[in-house]
Structure 1
Amino acid sequence: MDDRDWLILQTLYHEKNITKAAKELYISQPALTNRLQQIEKEFGVQIVNRGRRGVQFTPQGEYLAKSAHEILLSIRKIKENVRNMENYVTGTLRIGVTNFFAYHKLPELLKLFKDQYPNIEFKISTGFSGDIANLVSNDDIHIGFVRGDYGWKEKKHLLFEEKICIVSKEKIDIERLPQLPRIDYRTDHLLKTLVDHWWGENYSKPPLISIEVDKAETCKEMVINGLGYAILPSMILDDIDGLYKSEIRTKNNEAILRKTWMFYHEESLKLSMVKAFVTFIENIDFYSINKRK
């Protein structure tokens, strides 16, 4: 078996569907089925059962599929270490970022880094902060940019802090928030817990959620169009003028802050491309980095 075969097992185990796995792997369904049959022949066992509900892995197949992640990770590290023996910084840097970071910060950062290290390529994963923290922890990525601490015990570097704001098109009476329409959005559980705790300290009634959307950017656009108020981190509002903003504070009148970190493993610094990128990030003023207008 080669690394492509292990990738087939990993993808099929995740998708549980031949058609979806073939699409994910950019191969035809017959080609995937044929390769799967060859893998079964090589090991002398049946790997999957096909039924109306999709693909079900046999015990042997499940063992092989779960081994695929470890094997692919080992192959990737071997390739990275071989490239690392060269005298210049090269390779594919795997980075995980939140949607906010991907939209507002990452493009300019990658351009600046690429100017210094033209032989570096990037593989970017996006998602909620908790998902990115897990990707770093599992060595699926080299570096993660995460909003919130997530109990990370390895190397980390504080990038910036944001205040959390009530934002609306027109000035509103903060005391009347429970009676006013609120636009909510999907976010990571740490920010949701932080906002919910603040709300519970200040109001005896739940918020009046009039609109729910999937992303903070969509939520912001709803506020701009006067459809309600929202509670958002401050940096997402930096490129917008004419909105009323009010920081939320603790009972002791302290600003509630959301921190963004760079997470990575100390072991990964042995790779020249990771070390170069970490050093580069540590010297960036993130408050001056914004998405292009």
Structure 2
Amino acid sequence: MDERDWLILQTLYAQKNITHAAQALYISQPALTNRLKQMEKEFGVQIVTRGRRGIQFTPQGEYLAKCADDMVHRMQRIKENVLNMESNMSGTLRLGVSTFFTDYKLPGILKLFKEEYPNIEFKVTTEWSSHITHLIYNQDVHVGFVKGDYGWKDQKRLLFKETICIASKDKIDLAHLPDMPRIDYRTDQNLKMVVDHWWAENYAKPPLISIDVDKAGTCKNMVANGLGYAILPSMILDDLEDLHKIELKNAAGEPIIRKSWMFFHEESLQLNIVKAFVEFIERIDLMSIH
């Protein structure tokens, strides 16, 4: 079993489908099937069974698939430790980034960091903040960028704060908000709970959702075209000056604040590339990056 075999097992266990696993690994289906047969021959057991709904792992296959996670992580750490012994800064920095951060901040950050450290490569996973927290906890990524508070106990840095706003093309009377067309979008559970709580505190009936889209950026563009109002984090709206914006406030009359954080493990700072990236984020002005 080599590193590639463990990666095949890990991916196959996640996908439960040979075709999808082959696509994720960028290899042909026959090549994957052949490697699987070689693994079964090496261990002398059947790893998977094939059925109408895809594949099922045998008990022995389940055990090997769980071992695969440990083996892939172990090989990753070995490679990182070897590269860490080099005097020049090189290697792959694994980042877990919330959707908003990917769209609005990450490209500029990576461009500036790459200018300082041209030999460092990036592997970026974009997910909801709740999932990024899970990835950083399991050390699947070196550094995580999340929005909202998730009870992270290891190292974290506050990146910036923002308010949450009602945005519309025309002025809005808050008393009439429940009867006005709202544009909604998919967002992380943390922000959804904050907005839903605010709504329940102020209105007795649900909002009138007229359009439902998948991304905040699409939602913003629809608001800019006068198709309805939306409730969005303020930073998304910074480039639109002609919109009318009203900050959400809590029962005490204070603006509701949403924080963005950088999470990482203390032990990860032993890797030169992680230490360099964390120090880079700490010294740049994130608010000026677009």
TM-score with structure 1 length normalisation?
A: 0.97
Aligned-pair Cα RMSD in Å: 0.8
* Mean Cα deviation higher: 218-227 or 144-153: 218-227
3-state DSSP class of the match of 1:239? Answer: coil
Q: Find the aligned partners of 1:16 and 1:286 in 2 and give their Cα distance.
A: 40
- CA deviation map 1:119-141 (0-9, x unaligned): 11111110110111111111100
Corresponding residue for residue 177 of structure 2: 177
Corresponding residue for residue 269 of structure 1: 269
Corresponding residue for residue 88 of structure 2: 88
User: Aligned letter for 1:162?
Assistant: E
Corresponding residue for residue 254 of structure 2: 254
Corresponding residue for residue 203 of structure 1: 203
* Mean Cα deviation higher: 183-192 or 260-269: 183-192
Corresponding residue for residue 70 of structure 1: 70
Corresponding residue for residue 98 of structure 2: 98
3-state DSSP class of the match of 2:253? Answer: coil
Q: Equivalent residues in 2 for 1:223-234 (5 A)?
A: 223-234=223-234
Q: Equivalent residues in 2 for 1:234-253 (5 A)?
A: 234-253=234-253
State the shift of 1:98 in Å. 1.2
Matched residues, percent identical?
68
3-state DSSP class of the match of 1:31? Answer: helix
Q: Find the aligned partners of 2:238 and 2:281 in 1 and give their Cα distance.
A: 21
1:165 matched to 2:165:
yes
Q: Find the aligned partners of 2:213 and 2:118 in 1 and give their Cα distance.
A: 38
- CA deviation map 1:133-186 (0-9, x unaligned): 111111100000000111100000000001000001111111111111111111
User: Aligned letter for 2:234?
Assistant: S
* Mean Cα deviation higher: 150-159 or 88-97: 88-97
3-state DSSP class of the match of 2:209? Answer: strand
State the shift of 1:29 in Å. 0.7
Corresponding residue for residue 21 of structure 1: 21
Q: Find the aligned partners of 2:266 and 2:98 in 1 and give their Cα distance.
A: 22
- CA deviation map 1:211-231 (0-9, x unaligned): 111111111111112111100
3-state DSSP class of the match of 1:206? Answer: coil
3-state DSSP class of the match of 2:121? Answer: strand
* Mean Cα deviation higher: 221-230 or 274-283: 221-230
Q: Find the aligned partners of 1:274 and 1:41 in 2 and give their Cα distance.
A: 40
Q: Find the aligned partners of 2:177 and 2:39 in 1 and give their Cα distance.
A: 60
State the shift of 1:115 in Å. 1.0
State the shift of 1:253 in Å. 1.1
TM-score with structure 2 length normalisation?
A: 0.98
3-state DSSP class of the match of 1:124? Answer: strand
Corresponding residue for residue 285 of structure 1: 285
State the shift of 1:109 in Å. 0.8
Q: Find the aligned partners of 1:15 and 1:250 in 2 and give their Cα distance.
A: 43
State the shift of 1:60 in Å. 0.7
State the shift of 1:88 in Å. 2.1
- CA deviation map 1:191-234 (0-9, x unaligned): 11111111111111111111111111111111112111100000
Q: Find the aligned partners of 1:66 and 1:185 in 2 and give their Cα distance.
A: 36
State the shift of 1:241 in Å. 2.3
3-state DSSP class of the match of 2:205? Answer: coil
Task: Give every structure 1 segment of 4 or more consecutive aligned residues whose post-TM-superposition deviation is greater than 6 Å.
Answer: none
Corresponding residue for residue 59 of structure 1: 59
Q: Find the aligned partners of 1:189 and 1:108 in 2 and give their Cα distance.
A: 27
Q: Find the aligned partners of 1:69 and 1:87 in 2 and give their Cα distance.
A: 30
3-state DSSP class of the match of 2:37? Answer: helix
3-state DSSP class of the match of 1:89? Answer: coil
Q: Find the aligned partners of 1:112 and 1:287 in 2 and give their Cα distance.
A: 14
Q: Find the aligned partners of 1:233 and 1:193 in 2 and give their Cα distance.
A: 14
Q: Find the aligned partners of 1:166 and 1:64 in 2 and give their Cα distance.
A: 51
User: Aligned letter for 2:2?
Assistant: D
1:50 matched to 2:50:
yes
